[in-house]
Amino acid sequence: METNIQNQKIAIITGGSRGIGRSIAMNAAKRGIAVILTYNNNPEQGAAVAEEINKNGEKLLL
């Protein structure tokens, strides 16, 4: 993953706690893109996705 903040790619993923949004967030993180994750009404699922991204060593921005 790039460490130069000026070259860091960032993706804002809405609905990232499940379904397509979760899949996009996970794949973006695996590609070295920092992820900003949002969700509407399920904080447990949102936290689980965030934990999985962080556990795999990818970058999640909260």
6 DSSP 8-state letter: G
H or E segment at 10? Answer: strand 10-13
Query: pLDDT for 21-41, tens place per residue?
Result: 999 999 999 999 989 989 888
Question: What confidence score (pLDDT) does residue 5 get?
Answer: 63
Q: Domain total for the chain?
A: 1
Decide if pLDDT at 57 tops 60. yes
Q: In what order do the strands lie in the sheet with 60-61?
A: 10-13, 34-37, 60-61
Decide if pLDDT at 1 tops 60. no
Judge residue 36's burial from the number of C-beta atoms within 10 Å of its C-beta, 0-12 exposed, 13-18 middle, 19 or more buried.
middle
Identify the domain containing residue 34 by its residue range. 5-61
Q: What is the pTM of this model?
A: 0.79
